Amino acid sequence: MGKQLTPEEFREKLAGILKQAKEQKLYIQERVVRDAFSDYDFSDQQMKMVIEFLRSKKVTVGGAASDLESGDAGRIPGSVRKKTWSQEEDDYIRRYRGELLAMRAPKTGSSQFRDLLDGAASGDEGAKKRLLEIMLPDIADLACDLYGPGVLLQDLVSEGNLQGMLAMERIDFSVPDLSDHFRTVFLSEVRDGLLAFLAENREVKARDQRMVDRVQEFSDYTEVLKDDLGRKVYLDEVAEFMDIPEEEAEAILRLTGEKAEDGREGRESG
């Protein structure tokens, strides 16, 4: 049975974990958090509270690699168990984890892993490719942690793998003792890439929604004018009513697939 954790010790441990996460660009592995409390009598419920606290501080808690190493390919790491994705996405991630497990890649920290780092340092592209294969489970965990509404889990994992390839080209493999912190450096690079991808995805969706809202607004104003005037309305009239340039009104109208009519000529001929 572990030692009892005093409130002072708990605050000190938590501050240390948060400091480490900030140094790693707000990322930390779940196993690191668990290791910090391994000598103490610490329940799973308390661990969940710690992880939720870290997330409230915008820290991404990476899934435990032991879930894959245990041979349970169908199990979802605790850090991502509460995510709400579709059944299709759930089937995908379970199948994908099983495929990764079947690859039987060497573990980080093994002599084979260190040999691959040495090979990458000497410019061996094959070594980099093998290192990426080793890191695929961690990329999948990170994608699951960053998953949210508006993006498919499959797309996020694929983007994570792409960012992993790019990270392999950016990492300086000549750094001494890289094997001690390779995982942290690598996942920080991938995380930055995924966050940029998600930000761009949100901006595209927001832009699309603004476009939809503008078209609907144009349609609503047009109907109001029709009811008020009791006749067909023209583009310049709607533009004036909406207090926008006629060119902007015409651009909005084009989004609906309709052709703008010259209102002045129509009214003069009438």
State pTM to two decimals. Answer: 0.55
What are the DSSP E strand ranges found in 14-151? 27-29, 60-62
Instruction: Find tokens 């890191």 and name the residue.
Output: 135
Which pLDDT band holds residue 184 (cuts at 50, 70, 90)?
A: confident
Q: What are phi and psi of 245, to 5 degrees?
A: -60, 150
Digit-coded pLDDT (tens) for 100-153: 888 776 776 678 888 998 999 998 999 999 999 989 999 999 999 998 878 889
Beta bridge mates, 29 = 62
**Got the DSSP string for 224-265?**
HHHHHHTS---HHHHHHHHTS-HHHHHHHHHHTTPPP--HHH
Digit-coded pLDDT (tens) for 225-265: 888 778 887 888 878 877 888 888 788 777 776 665 555 54
CB 234 within 8 A of CB 263: yes
Digit-coded pLDDT (tens) for 217-233: 878 878 878 887 788 87
> For residues 62 and 144, what is the distance between their CA atoms, to the nearest angstrom?
9
Q: What are phi and psi of 240, to 5 degrees?
A: -65, -40
Sign (positive/negative) of CA torsion 153, 158, 159, 161? positive
